[in-house]
Structure 1
């Protein structure tokens, strides 16, 4: 290619003077072109024009722009870079943590207590706010950097023609009209219209979802086609798989297809997760109660002749009793634990609430290439002459063997070595072992050719030795007319041979003989019909077929430069057909079966063809007795469907949407999400980024996925395994159940504290009895006592057949009529038991509480009994809630972290009771055996009450539904 470019440059030198002489007309002409470019993207029209027409309209030529004109256009069009519309700001993300209603309530309480001079309470509340906000901020620190990843795709340098000279410049300096050189392995630096191609193909799976390389040509396409079928264009962010060529830059910067996807990604705003909506709802309900009850308590306190300051302080204490102070930390801690568990299972969570969202997933929209498939072309079937055979093993790893129709391994002599050698010698790719950057075997070059190399390696061919023995003399590259590629080689014995691969029909039309067993015989019309019949049957199963053939040459024909394909590619000996496909990952069928068993619907959304995608869907097991018949919808059909029709199809599941654009995929996802259904989207390409970001939960592939996809997603599957997604969904369902336990346990304590405070207020107003709990003791219950056991609930194992249940109803709430009844009854029992202990303590010691000061020893002892009773009965409440079967279930023995948390909480409780300086801070006094007797009796009564409440019909219905 370089020699051809240099030759063209020499010819171009003669044209430059005349071009410079017309520079004024050139400049003025481009003004109008610029105006046209400003109104539409060239990517949408350039493929309909000839290469000469595109060059003319861009006021460019095959020799490129002049340096002066390139500089002017750089000022007009700006840099060839992806520009973010919004910048990530860590400080603003931290401030977002303060939007939580519970955080706002805690800050309000802290402000009031500080104003009233209760600095201890104020400081504790502020520390609590700090802990909650830091936990939330830290867990979400891995925020999206989609735009940075998109910027990284525009590589730093490229080769362009300027003033007829081939120069290496920064990709950011490329402007519309620049002629760009493309060579194997290069990244395409801008959207270009191909003006010259020598066996040129690009890997576009990351952009279009097409699993096979896209072969490029230069002629115009006569009608409008989807992005993936614009074979005379190459797009920024893709790579050159094979060959070389020249292209004129038609769109740069944000006008590129990559820039358009960037804009889509930025406009796709993530929505709150179900758990976020639920905790917000809880906070709003609690907040309303806090404000209302605080006002009522303040009014009652003033009415009871309490000093205003004391009444206000008591009202704030009531607010603290109602606010579940530890709830944000408990939820975040539970989600963080689940995130760690998923990380060990090859699922990296970027957004904390994504863990719970997974459990609510009702629809999965999955990409095909690289998600369900390996994105590694694999030869699965052979035709050895006229004899069919199959090949085991998937991917590029040279592990597998050739077997006959009856499953018996073919002996090496049963597989003609020349057939396997042809696949290697008619290819330019390289098969490479795992290295520091590649976990598995990988291919440099065309994936189709890579599959032929792997096939030969499975057959025992030493690829490197074969290449050394066979010197390539010349190559007849593939083109869209011949649909063949030929390599002419000289072996160590001085024998010349043409090695041919290509479209089976085009190879057969040039073949005159066939390798039948160990002998070569004439090829008959019946042979041709039989071979083509097998090929067509395999095509219906989405297999790509390549025929292999050879021809011995004399030295004159092999060396003659004027001997073209018409001379060389005739009189061929047909060797066989290699049939390949990008195979389904081994674990995918069982994972899809588990997903369908969990009543989750699956759709495939891909840029690949309907035939290929449907074959993969069937191979993956998407069609079963439960899911019914597989349906396919092409992009043309999709455009004709109304939103209601698309939504109906997507919610039913089992649909293959093929040849879709990023906008189509985003439309489907937004329709599902807009219906209130939780939708998970999987993908690995650039084209998947907008949908990944907009979905309820975006899932990217960690190995094969592009940086753009990974940064746009909420969850990254480190092993690219669909099975890991199923495990993540199972984990999401488990963690939601555990969070629900924690929320209800936390609110039960708050209900108990509310009962204690309301009765205390009445006793204080009527008889002057000291308040049973002070604010610091309430905080000690919520933050030092219950927070660790409730957080440890996040490690509870699943109970029952988690993945056999339907996804929970999106309208289901943790707080509903039944759970509120459960919390209210349990909290009332707990509060009454605590108050009973409070009053009985006075009675046991013969003390009249009327008129006592809160600092009196008897008052502190009774208050301590109240504090300990609430905490111990809360332990009983939490233990009972761990299982639908109650406190004596086998699940009680399956989470050692829970019992360790209870032990730590008990030690903290005892420290508050018995360590003098700590007790002085919290206003507690040491308990004796009599007081502990009251506490233990209360615990036993609470356990019995929990069983009774759990079996009440009004409460049991909720548990059975769960």
Structure 2
């Protein structure tokens, strides 16, 4: 077996062209014969990525029921059905089934990243066989084929270039390189990083200018994109913080419910109660203690968060991702297009001893400075003349056609009011090459404009201003120099003919930071979220941008490969972080899939990245990540509010059953009445908390530790406190009521509901003595209360409901104690909040006034 060193030294990028051709058993001019290509195709298989096979539909559906609480609910439904309570069993099963269907649909939508990768490499290619060029399907290519590349082609396989003609390839989707890469056939060192292999063209990348030919060295799964495909397929997704906390919460709650149910049966049998009656009581206890409305509440709360985020340019593909954003502790962000505008922009023009500042960001060429000084206009005219690019308006956006650097020069000229009509007709040119490092165009009348590296233009003019150029380059700007010469049209256009050219000036450009992203990064840092830049671009370019965002050098990771991105995400997760990862290319897909929350770019991102991500930004803007984090924190707050609101009722219902068994008394509430309370109040009252607006300080507090449970010690104590109040109130109402047992139970049921209404106002803020947002910010709260009151009146006074739920009409005088008990319950919780705030240093801060 060859060693790793031997394999590296045999890599085609490090070998001369003739050795690659020899090993591939092909010809650099005529390619393979048709017969040889057919044999290799039969032996090696088609040039396509292997198909991804996920779990079957049935298996995926059954997986939705894998939850301890679901097991208990299914068991309770089965026992209830066996005891003849079909209505109760049907209600429980309906809740379980709806939750499973929602989860199934989410999972199906989330498993399409590999399909997008496979579709990405299905194209056509021009291949030379037997010396004749022809178009063939890309999946028919084999190692040794000679492929012709032209502007606009998608590279169909991994190619070792054998010749090139000003060939530039956009490799951003694979490597993260922000500019098209100039290619040439000269070999590079064996240890050269993927992004720097100028003699290779990789499958899935795009030819932007020029042309060339290359020998196929890898196809299908063996290509670099195939390597990414394997990474995506082998990368496991991690549970979101919410699903981890809900799973842990479910296990604890399940153990407690089963323990209480068994205890109730044992106690009842010891007291001599019939076994069937004890089983019925145990089922009632289990059904009462399980928060049936929790799955629906989680789904609805997350769905509302999805809608809110969509209005802020963030489209969520998986519901749990909404809450994950709120728990994020590290954001690993790409540079190009996310922190920057992804549009090269000229910022400074130096000419005639003056520096002219150019405003605006991007490729919009709206005239801003038509009165630019003559020397500046001459530099801008040179940039427009010595140029093969343009900008066009597409879908209300200005985009570059051709090289982004040249497009920036077009824009700077047009901002000064110049156009192509101001440029004399081009009659000759010296094109830019990596060896020449400059471009020259001759126009009618013999005027020649030069554009290129500062030191190269200085060789023709002798007086380029290196001080200005060095100062601008030191600020992370790309600097080009411009000159003008006079070469008659009957004189050959050569480098020697350009000696003595007149230096015109400089243009300095960069991909500027988005102004809104600057504020967004600061907001995230103030919220305790660490921001790290992970990019495939050069380190110098990345650090120059990082300085604008006040990111420390240690927060910048440049020239990273897909594997390195994946390793970084795993490392942060191993350190206990909740990681959000942004990306737009194929190379980002494995890390996007692995991250707790993968964020893809909607405008400039590849379909592969979008399918691998949990969230897609419609504006490719970091500020939208900040907005999504804000909404995610609000979603988690609202979920906790619902859980803290619903648990006391469930716990008290279970305790009522257990206490009645211990005391040997009649049940104050029946199982069917427990189901009524749980389902109606969860929908009409509890779900209104999902519409609560975010609290004003949501981005001024650190993220909750990922290990923090849904129920902290203080909140668990509050749940227990309210449960005891409900237990005492319902027992007192039942036993003190002077009337038939059905009426007493009706009073007990209404005690629960009245206390839940009062407690709803407590839960609008879990820490503050009063909510910081007014009732008018959540009209659903009042609507839910009205609906609940109407439902309770129907339950109490209509004969049909009396028959179904074993209730009976009560006198109007019985309602006064119910209202009094609700007020007492509200006061008890507010006193508990006040007491806890006085014990906490943070509680001594002056409370913000509520919003109206």
For the structure 1 residues 170 and 488, does the alpha-carbon distance in structure 2 shift closer, same or farther, using more than 3 Å as the test? farther
Say if 1:760 and 1:770, in contact at 8 Å, map to a contact too. Answer: yes
| Structure 1 range deviating more: 126-135 or 448-457 | 126-135
Q: Deviations over 1:509-549 (max 9, x none)?
A: 123xxxxxxxxxxxxx5x33xx1222222222221222223
1:106 CA drift (Å): 0.9
Which of 508, 515, 538 does residue 458 from structure 2 map onto? 508
- The aligned residue for residue 660 of structure 2 is 760
1:743 CA drift (Å): 0.6
Which of 491, 513, 521 does residue 584 from structure 1 map onto? 513
1:869 CA drift (Å): 0.9
Q: Quick one: distance in 1 between partners of 2:583 and 2:285?
A: 50
Q: Quick one: distance in 2 between partners of 1:889 and 1:259?
A: 53
Which of 700, 704, 722 does residue 826 from structure 1 map onto? 722
- The aligned residue for residue 397 of structure 2 is 440
Q: Deviations over 1:159-199 (max 9, x none)?
A: 11111111111111122111111112221111211211111
| Structure 1 range deviating more: 87-96 or 689-698 | 87-96
SS for the counterpart of 1:121 is: helix
- The aligned residue for residue 585 of structure 2 is 685
For the structure 1 residues 801 and 328, does the alpha-carbon distance in structure 2 shift closer, same or farther, using more than 3 Å as the test? same
For the structure 1 residues 90 and 585, does the alpha-carbon distance in structure 2 shift closer, same or farther, using more than 3 Å as the test? farther
**Is residue 152 from structure 1 mapped to residue 110 from structure 2 by the alignment?**
no
Give 5+ residue unaligned stretches, structure 1.
1-34, 403-409, 512-524, 558-562, 624-629, 633-654, 846-857
Q: Deviations over 1:598-620 (max 9, x none)?
A: 1211111111111110100112x
- The aligned residue for residue 238 of structure 1 is 205
- The aligned residue for residue 51 of structure 1 is 17
- The aligned residue for residue 696 of structure 1 is 596
Say if 1:501 and 1:548, in contact at 8 Å, map to a contact too. Answer: yes
Q: Quick one: distance in 1 between partners of 2:226 and 2:777?
A: 51
Q: Quick one: distance in 2 between partners of 1:756 and 1:587?
A: 55
1:829 CA drift (Å): 0.6
For the structure 1 residues 236 and 197, does the alpha-carbon distance in structure 2 shift closer, same or farther, using more than 3 Å as the test? same
- The aligned residue for residue 190 of structure 1 is 157
1:221 CA drift (Å): 1.3
Aligned-residue Cα RMSD (Å) equals 2.5
- The aligned residue for residue 82 of structure 1 is 49
> 1:172-571 maps to which residues of 2 (within 5 A)?
172-399=139-366, 401=368, 411-415=371-375, 417-435=377-395, 439-463=396-420, 465=421, 470=425, 472-490=426-444, 495-511=445-461, 525=462, 527-528=463-464, 531-557=465-491, 563=492, 565-567=494-496, 569-571=498-500
Q: Deviations over 1:598-647 (max 9, x none)?
A: 1211111111111110100112x224xxxxxx225xxxxxxxxxxxxxxx
- The aligned residue for residue 622 of structure 1 is 550
For the structure 1 residues 811 and 70, does the alpha-carbon distance in structure 2 shift closer, same or farther, using more than 3 Å as the test? same
SS for the counterpart of 1:398 is: coil
Say if 1:111 and 1:122, in contact at 8 Å, map to a contact too. Answer: yes
SS for the counterpart of 1:342 is: helix
1:928 CA drift (Å): 2.1
1:401 CA drift (Å): 3.7
SS for the counterpart of 1:803 is: coil
For the structure 1 residues 886 and 163, does the alpha-carbon distance in structure 2 shift closer, same or farther, using more than 3 Å as the test? same
Say if 1:55 and 1:248, in contact at 8 Å, map to a contact too. Answer: yes
Q: Quick one: distance in 2 between partners of 1:40 and 1:772?
A: 81
Say if 1:177 and 1:248, in contact at 8 Å, map to a contact too. Answer: yes
Q: Quick one: distance in 2 between partners of 1:957 and 1:280?
A: 30
For the structure 1 residues 811 and 229, does the alpha-carbon distance in structure 2 shift closer, same or farther, using more than 3 Å as the test? same
- The aligned residue for residue 848 of structure 2 is none
Say if 1:822 and 1:955, in contact at 8 Å, map to a contact too. Answer: no
SS for the counterpart of 1:98 is: coil
- The aligned residue for residue 630 of structure 2 is 730
Say if 2:837 and 2:844, in contact at 8 Å, map to a contact too. Answer: no
Q: Quick one: distance in 1 between partners of 2:789 and 2:233?
A: 49
Q: Deviations over 1:708-730 (max 9, x none)?
A: 11111111111111111111111
Say if 1:185 and 1:445, in contact at 8 Å, map to a contact too. Answer: no
Give 5+ residue unaligned stretches, structure 2.
846-852
1:424 CA drift (Å): 2.6
Q: Quick one: distance in 2 between partners of 1:304 and 1:140?
A: 49
Say if 1:199 and 1:242, in contact at 8 Å, map to a contact too. Answer: yes
| Structure 1 range deviating more: 896-905 or 668-677 | 896-905
1:255 CA drift (Å): 1.2
- The aligned residue for residue 920 of structure 1 is 803
Q: Quick one: distance in 1 between partners of 2:547 and 2:770?
A: 47
Say if 1:140 and 1:352, in contact at 8 Å, map to a contact too. Answer: no
1:876 CA drift (Å): 1.0
Q: Quick one: distance in 2 between partners of 1:346 and 1:86?
A: 32
SS for the counterpart of 1:220 is: coil
SS for the counterpart of 2:214 is: strand
Q: Quick one: distance in 2 between partners of 1:234 and 1:44?
A: 17
Q: Deviations over 1:836-867 (max 9, x none)?
A: 111122xx23xxxxxxxxxxxx2222111111
SS for the counterpart of 1:261 is: helix
Which of 856, 859, 862 does residue 744 from structure 2 map onto? 862
Say if 1:786 and 1:875, in contact at 8 Å, map to a contact too. Answer: no
SS for the counterpart of 2:637 is: helix
1:753 CA drift (Å): 0.5
Which of 610, 613, 618 does residue 539 from structure 2 map onto? 610
- The aligned residue for residue 631 of structure 1 is 553
1:272 CA drift (Å): 1.0
1:575 CA drift (Å): 2.3
Count of equivalent residues: 843
Q: Quick one: distance in 2 between partners of 1:333 and 1:564?
A: 71
Q: Quick one: distance in 1 between partners of 2:502 and 2:375?
A: 16
Q: Quick one: distance in 2 between partners of 1:904 and 1:138?
A: 31
Say if 1:498 and 1:553, in contact at 8 Å, map to a contact too. Answer: yes
1:762 CA drift (Å): 3.1
Q: Quick one: distance in 2 between partners of 1:44 and 1:547?
A: 41
Which of 768, 771, 775 does residue 892 from structure 1 map onto? 775
Q: Deviations over 1:739-797 (max 9, x none)?
A: 1111111111012102211222234x3xxx43222222111111112333222212212
Q: Deviations over 1:225-260 (max 9, x none)?
A: 111111111112221121111121211111111111
- The aligned residue for residue 32 of structure 2 is 65
1:487 CA drift (Å): 3.2
> 1:808-823 maps to which residues of 2 (within 5 A)?
808-823=704-719
